[in-house]
Structure 1
């Protein structure tokens, strides 16, 4: 089944029967095909309306005009409908499709992406969906028309005929014969994100697994697209957004736009797993994905390996200034993702919980970021963007100066990762922290937060996140294995493609680091980008089921179809001052399914409710009230 944009036909003239073509293309083409209905192309002052655009990443683009009616004819070189009305828009249907094709090519060039045109074959065609091949073959075609580019009712009635015809059109010669469709991953991204699908912008179409969910997420990208276009005129800006609002995706697309114009971009990530994921999926010769440590290494400012590794940021600051003075600084644009975390003192290995130390404005890391900011500020053609989440800052005075003092501040509001249920649960995690620290009534604030989420009616509600309340460690492990079995079943059905186990504890402090459970955690394979280990168990069919294991903080900026949160116990909720932020980060990584495995008893639940100043009716158990508070469904063991 082809991926359709949008999933249902846009409004159209009933006489055109475009809905029939829509259904045939959707049902008979494979998922490698992407079909756009009713596409508007603006070329300078001219606007072209195109009935359908068919894209295949290995074949190219076909601009298709569809005409309905069983009695189309040709008289004196002009096409006529059955009511004798000429089909004369733009000089006939073939010229109409051809002009739309050239308008699209010009638009791509004017956007600065002529390299896409050099790596993509453009074709055009006309579909007389109600005309038989026998009648069409008897016509004397006008000079601008070609039987090779004409589809009939034969392609409406046969999947094989349709595919064969489209492949023959893709193979037709073009004016520049040496052009072949050889688009890179980055060029495909730009083609979709900045050219073809502004209403579906910033969605990774290649990972789409459910058309309805995909469309719901596509619709909510208009806010992102508007901000992205606004940034074209802003050299220095900071963009705030809660987890799931698409900051990393937007940052990546911004980098890609510059890169496709041949401009070098430094994309700084807070953690190595995010850097590796971006570099593996979106590598580009003009984008350098690095952490600060990796940047220091590139400038020869590091020493040691492993636990003995040390980055000399003060030396790096000097090297950067030296490079600028010598004219050797290679980057025109700099983008920081998870900008709120740069300048925090490094988390110590062996801490009980997965926490980061306070932000230090005077730290060498902060000095490096400030210098990078100043370098770009002095470059009239450069840009410096910071994407951050203020909800992950524990105190207001931890705001870095490059965020605090920025003149251009923008905010993303719409969630584009999670289902509404998961977004609500992530929000409730934050609210737990607000409640616990409150010295006055905070209900008005919490109500505003809830209303903001409820307003997002274009986010899928989906099933509620799940919580398992276990009595001991053995029960935690057996529950984890049960959850993995359920994930495996969903994976086989094509519903879920990835799962990640996230611990809220620090490295080496999880239940999975204890004997005998540690025996089930094996080293990750080389092709696994993030997570140092993976949990491994044998399924009922005898096949191995595996899931990577990471800490919440190391998984920041990343996502998985299913997230399994573990190590949620009394100590975490009651003794960790950053519990709400850690749980918020972990829960918000889930795209479609969130499972929380806790180890709590009835008294623990009541103590947590007391800690966050929540009362309960006597008829409601502490277990039930805590589940309600977190917007989760309690699952029985």
Structure 2
């Protein structure tokens, strides 16, 4: 049985006649033959404009050469005086058709042009080989009446030949072998070149950028589940919402703040990290009655207002009152409380994200900012496992927290790696499988930097990932400057620049610490600088760093360190 492309039983065509001939050929010709059905191509002969070519059936044989076959169904009639060809279907309806012999001849020469363009064919060095064409009319038993000056009977097949196609095919090949055996055989390599050109099996690997887009579409559906929590918050004024990394806390916090402001309430969306505040502020731009800031940005704003209005330096006063106090955890909260007491509260609702990072002294001035503390709305979002700043907050919300228990940011593979460092209420993995966490193994910092540089180039140039969708996060920062310099020395694509969280924008890859990146996410994260991390002592840092990527996580370090943090 001949080798066929496609499988004769799977072949489809508008022409039943083509399928009849193709399947009969497949059954009768021997294993040395290759038969291709419905072949089409575009060539550029001589470097000129594109020229289309096609063949209903193409037969290839290592010794006999190539044969192009045009198939016509129904009863075929012609008038050589007017050069008119007609096909009459089963309902006796006549359809004017093109000259099938001219079509076959054009197919032959277009095929030659395409072969001459093929690098694989050129390598064969074949100068002369047998190539011909034929016409098959399986619907009639008197096909020889179609013979004419351009249609010798030797290249016409009809219903009578369907039972002995091996002899008919050899007859057509012999007719075209005008060189009397002087033609070169195309051999098996020629057959392989034809298959590679017209019937090669192609398996495409989606670009990482396409996978990221597809995963984001699935992620949107998952996130909608978490957004249902918003409806439950409508009837509650003080609520604490807890959930692991990727459970949608920040998204729900932002959306709740937007809805409150849209309902006419002066609202403050508060967080700890500046990078997250900048990100949220950009997303909420243009929404009236909504302020977005870090806690310490609010402190500075109110302290400055008091200085401008009353000429008092509340921060200096707080330092004098608490000479051994901490600037950010005690002096600034105390100064803010005094400022609010002097200027008066202004917010009807406050939404706090990253609440696990807020110190005990933060909550008094936060409550003072509310116009009616007993009636105003306070929504607090936190992840107790993300307390990488080692705070112990007495959050002023009674009762148990509402729990988000589905990861809707990461893939399943990233979830498994990140949540191996998680301690808390069980969180269900996402429904996006994703790719495995990948290791970039190198023995020292400079070699690791070069590995990262090569990876970044591949991601941006070959995989189509936008630079701003990539973050390089450092677990340890004692040698941060040296690592940044090592990256800056590397050759990078011209469209790439490196910056910190606050430099986020088109073309900029974020290089920053895990701590400063809290609350943020990127499609691709490269985790670095964890050689001295202890999986118990630094569990929260590893958890936060590994949970930042949405689609792909790379860990870069020594083999021993990578094994230690991802098991």
Normalising by the smaller structure, the TM-score range is 0.5 to 0.7
On the 8 A contact 1:467/1:595 being kept in 2, the answer is yes
- Secondary structure at the counterpart of residue 591 of structure 1: strand
**What is the match of residue 255 of structure 2?**
253
Q: State the 1:312 CA deviation.
A: 3.0
**What is the match of residue 395 of structure 2?**
402
**What is the match of residue 503 of structure 1?**
474
- Does 2:312 match 1:312? no
**What is the match of residue 489 of structure 1?**
461
1:217 and 1:211 mapped to 2: Cα distance?
10
**What is the match of residue 130 of structure 1?**
none
**What is the match of residue 329 of structure 1?**
345
Q: State the 1:573 CA deviation.
A: 3.1
**What is the match of residue 292 of structure 2?**
289
**What is the match of residue 10 of structure 1?**
none
Query: Deviation per CA, 1:431-452, whole angstroms, max 9, x where unpaired?
Result: xxx7xxxxxxxxxx9xx95xx5
On the 8 A contact 1:240/1:389 being kept in 2, the answer is yes
- Secondary structure at the counterpart of residue 221 of structure 1: helix
2:457 and 2:377 mapped to 1: Cα distance?
47
1:378 and 1:258 mapped to 2: Cα distance?
15
- Does 2:486 match 1:550? no
Query: Deviation per CA, 1:356-377, whole angstroms, max 9, x where unpaired?
Result: xxxxxxxxxx333234236649
- Does 2:413 match 1:411? no
Q: State the 1:495 CA deviation.
A: 8.2
**What pairs with 1:45-60 in structure 2 (closer than 5 Å)?**
none
**What is the match of residue 475 of structure 1?**
447
Q: State the 1:598 CA deviation.
A: 1.0
Q: Give the 3 Å change call, closer, same or farther, for CA 533–480 of structure 1 in structure 2.
A: farther
**What is the match of residue 230 of structure 1?**
232
- Secondary structure at the counterpart of residue 477 of structure 1: helix
The TM-score normalised by the length of structure 2 is 0.52
Give the aligned length. 335
Q: Give the 3 Å change call, closer, same or farther, for CA 596–495 of structure 1 in structure 2.
A: same
Q: State the 1:475 CA deviation.
A: 1.6
**What is the match of residue 22 of structure 1?**
none
1:399 and 1:223 mapped to 2: Cα distance?
31
Q: Give the 3 Å change call, closer, same or farther, for CA 469–210 of structure 1 in structure 2.
A: closer
- Secondary structure at the counterpart of residue 487 of structure 1: helix
Q: State the 1:461 CA deviation.
A: 0.5
Residue of structure 1 aligned with 2:526, choices 564, 567, 573 = 564
**What is the match of residue 418 of structure 2?**
426
- Does 2:551 match 1:531? no
1:333 and 1:483 mapped to 2: Cα distance?
45
On the 8 A contact 2:418/2:542 being kept in 1, the answer is yes
1:263 and 1:329 mapped to 2: Cα distance?
13
On the 8 A contact 2:274/2:294 being kept in 1, the answer is yes
**What is the match of residue 367 of structure 2?**
373
**What pairs with 1:608-619 in structure 2 (closer than 5 Å)?**
none
Query: Deviation per CA, 1:8-52, whole angstroms, max 9, x where unpaired?
Result: xxxxxxxxxxxxxxxxxxxxxxxxxxxxxxxxxxxxxxxxxxxxx
> Cα RMSD (Å) of the superposition?
3.8
2:499 and 2:289 mapped to 1: Cα distance?
22
Query: Deviation per CA, 1:84-123, whole angstroms, max 9, x where unpaired?
Result: xxxxxxxxxxxxxxxxxxxxxxxxxxxxxxxxxxxxxxxx
**What is the match of residue 597 of structure 1?**
556
2:490 and 2:274 mapped to 1: Cα distance?
25
Query: Deviation per CA, 1:205-225, whole angstroms, max 9, x where unpaired?
Result: xx9986642342233235423
**What is the match of residue 41 of structure 2?**
none
1:490 and 1:337 mapped to 2: Cα distance?
37
Q: Give the 3 Å change call, closer, same or farther, for CA 256–532 of structure 1 in structure 2.
A: closer
Q: Give the 3 Å change call, closer, same or farther, for CA 594–287 of structure 1 in structure 2.
A: same
1:285 and 1:225 mapped to 2: Cα distance?
22
Q: State the 1:296 CA deviation.
A: 1.3
Q: Which runs of 5+ in 2 are unaligned?
A: 1-208, 304-313, 317-325
Q: State the 1:256 CA deviation.
A: 0.5
2:238 and 2:373 mapped to 1: Cα distance?
11
**What pairs with 1:58-207 in structure 2 (closer than 5 Å)?**
none
Q: Which runs of 5+ in 1 are unaligned?
A: 1-206, 344-365, 435-444, 535-543, 606-622, 632-637
On the 8 A contact 2:500/2:512 being kept in 1, the answer is yes
**What pairs with 1:419-458 in structure 2 (closer than 5 Å)?**
419-430=411-422, 453=428, 456=429
Q: Give the 3 Å change call, closer, same or farther, for CA 375–473 of structure 1 in structure 2.
A: closer
On the 8 A contact 1:335/1:386 being kept in 2, the answer is yes
2:439 and 2:216 mapped to 1: Cα distance?
26
- Secondary structure at the counterpart of residue 234 of structure 2: helix
1:208 and 1:411 mapped to 2: Cα distance?
33
- Secondary structure at the counterpart of residue 296 of structure 2: helix
Query: Deviation per CA, 1:522-575, whole angstroms, max 9, x where unpaired?
Result: 9xx9x99952679xxxxxxxxx97522110011111111101111121x2237x
Q: State the 1:519 CA deviation.
A: 4.6
Q: Give the 3 Å change call, closer, same or farther, for CA 209–215 of structure 1 in structure 2.
A: same
Query: Deviation per CA, 1:321-353, whole angstroms, max 9, x where unpaired?
Result: 333xxxx4221101111000011xxxxxxxxxx
On the 8 A contact 2:488/2:498 being kept in 1, the answer is no
2:541 and 2:483 mapped to 1: Cα distance?
18
Q: Give the 3 Å change call, closer, same or farther, for CA 478–520 of structure 1 in structure 2.
A: closer
On the 8 A contact 1:512/1:521 being kept in 2, the answer is no
Q: Give the 3 Å change call, closer, same or farther, for CA 224–545 of structure 1 in structure 2.
A: closer
Q: State the 1:478 CA deviation.
A: 1.4
